[in-house]
Structure 1
Amino acid sequence: MKLTGGKAIEFGGLPGRLYSSVATAGSLPRPAYVLLHGIGVSHRYFARLHHELALTADVYTFDLPGFGDSPRPARQVPVGEYAAFVHTALADAGVRSCVVIGHSMGTQHAVELALQQPELVAGVVLMGPVVDDQRKSVARQALALTRDAMFSESVTSNAIVFGDYFRAGLRWYLTELPVMMEYPMEARVRGVGQPVLVMRGSKDPVASRGWCERLAGQAAQSSLTEIPGQGHVFQHTAPGPAAAAITAWVRAVDGFGVTA
């Protein structure tokens, strides 16, 4: 399914961009997946996973306000506003039910969207979730990210991530960093009634196995899976196994209504 987009969108004065791969009118109903990126990055590090999922589903990916090709807002944006922004864009696109897939800080946006719009979000996938409750300092997060980049990632994943960091700029990154660090992930996940899949790369120093197990334990309906031999950005380095794990989980969970 061909990726279309870079469609400019705006809500509440926040500008972003939406990229999509959607079946043509008259096609059989397909699941709908929504991909939400983490701090500093953009839709680009989701491109491979987007392609894999789009073989059998409608897929929507964002450049959230302030990141990628989206202009920088004039103020700090809390997680709840990002979630409301995503909801407005999806409603405008005609999405009535979806599985929302967040990566890193995008997991916070995914959880908040599920809480704000339970009738829209049929399930939640948390890939490399943050922030580990036992490493809740900027220094520890920076060290974990450095270890991941040096020892667990590919040249291309590092090029995309650090290229996007450069585009976002240090000022905007530091503006949003406190939002990520202060978000009460465990407490918020407890309120999610939809099925939750927690995913991590087995070599990920950012989202440790213990943290992911603790987080999964907070959700009412949860599963945990690892992608062997991968780091934090496994959606780029192992898109096939990542997509297979997500689609297998969706098929295994009863009651998903995820057609667009």
Structure 2
Amino acid sequence: MGLTGRILWTKGTPPPEPGEPRSEPAYILVHGIGVSHRYLARLHGVLAASAPTYSLDLPGFGGTPKPGRQLSVEDYGAFIAGALKTCGIDSYVLVGHSMGAQFVIEAALRAPEQIRQLVLMGPVVDSRHKNVWRQSVALTLDGLVRESLSSNWIVISDYVRCGPRWYLNELPVMMSYPTEKRLAGVQVPVLVLRGSRDHVAGPDWSLRLSRAVAQGRLVEIPGVGHVAQHMRPKAVADAIRSFVIATTPHR
């Protein structure tokens, strides 16, 4: 498709090299609409202390080149699966936040042999917010009331880098994606994770998603909103690692 993204890793994680055998699945962190790897950086650091961890900047976001056409969620899922294959990352746990939850669902459907577990953090679009106005109000209130200055700064500055044109280009894609229906096709264990004060991904919606699959779980991080991974990175990482350990078959 001629799309360009970016993969990032930190000290302790081997550079992605095709053909190199890997002893354990890697964590793959995927951002949501308008933003980049930066608001996942704290979570990345905690996870990378115990397992290979990579973060992605998807095409059009995080300063990567803007595609020449609107991309569907399926396009992004195909890009993720293809990029990981090209990089030699053939066993992984996908972790997506907000619209990134939609992206990783599609990537999981594209690469069923490579995906081990799926983690959906603050997944959208909550059935209470099925129009742009309601979604925007929920997100704005979350930023004003429940997030920190540092998380808001990262998100807003990334929105500026993304630019309104590409954000608005992809917004209807996010709003129309049938998250619950597509998630039902995923065959691996799924963790739905939300901040207890997150009104973007509300409790009823999150519980319903966790029940859309045979091996689904719901975990809430107390006292935080939509960007729980920035506000409580250790608690989020602990929840993810516990879920992965509990749902990994013992050989």
TM-score, normalised on structure 2?
Answer: 0.94
Q: How far off is 1:37 after superposition?
A: 0.4
Q: Which amino acid aligns with 2:61?
A: F
Q: How far off is 1:216 after superposition?
A: 1.0
**Equivalent residue, structure 1, for 2:76:** 82
**Equivalent residue, structure 2, for 1:3:** none
SS of residue paired to 2:136? helix
**Equivalent residue, structure 1, for 2:128:** 134
Name structure 2 gaps, 5 residues minimum: none
Match among 222, 226, 239 for residue 245 of structure 1: 239
- 1:103 and 2:92 matched: no
Cα distance in structure 1, aligned partners of 2:250 and 2:118: 11
Match among 173, 177, 182 for residue 176 of structure 2: 182
**Equivalent residue, structure 2, for 1:19:** 8
- 1:231 and 2:225 matched: yes
SS of residue paired to 1:186? helix
Q: Among the aligned pairs, what percent are the same residue?
A: 52
Alignment of 1:30-41 (within 5 A): 30-41=24-35
Q: Give CA-to-partner distance per residue, 1:170-189, whole Å, 9 cap, x none.
A: 11000000110000001001
Cα distance in structure 2, aligned partners of 1:190 and 1:220: 9
Q: How far off is 1:248 after superposition?
A: 0.6
CA gap 1:127/1:223 in 2 versus in 1, 3 angstroms: same
Cα distance in structure 2, aligned partners of 1:253 and 1:198: 14
Cα distance in structure 1, aligned partners of 2:51 and 2:24: 5
Name structure 1 gaps, 5 residues minimum: 1-11
Match among 35, 59, 67 for residue 73 of structure 1: 67
Q: Which amino acid aligns with 2:52?
A: D
Runs of at least 4 residues off by over 3 Å: 23-28
**Equivalent residue, structure 2, for 1:123:** 117
Q: How far off is 1:127 after superposition?
A: 0.1
SS of residue paired to 1:198? strand
Q: Which amino acid aligns with 2:3?
A: L
Q: Which amino acid aligns with 2:66?
A: R
How many residue pairs end up in the alignment? 246
Match among 191, 197, 204 for residue 198 of structure 2: 204
TM-score, normalised on structure 1?
Answer: 0.91
Q: Is the Cα–Cα contact under 8 Å of residues 31 and 56 in structure 1 kept in the other structure?
A: no
Cα distance in structure 2, aligned partners of 1:256 and 1:240: 25
Q: Give CA-to-partner distance per residue, 1:66-113, whole Å, 9 cap, x none.
A: 001201111101111111111121112211111100000000011111
Structure number with the higher strand fraction is 1
Q: Which amino acid aligns with 1:129?
A: P
CA RMSD of aligned residues (A): 1.8
**Equivalent residue, structure 2, for 1:45:** 39
CA gap 1:58/1:180 in 2 versus in 1, 3 angstroms: same
CA gap 1:105/1:195 in 2 versus in 1, 3 angstroms: same
Q: Which amino acid aligns with 1:77?
A: L
CA gap 1:256/1:119 in 2 versus in 1, 3 angstroms: farther
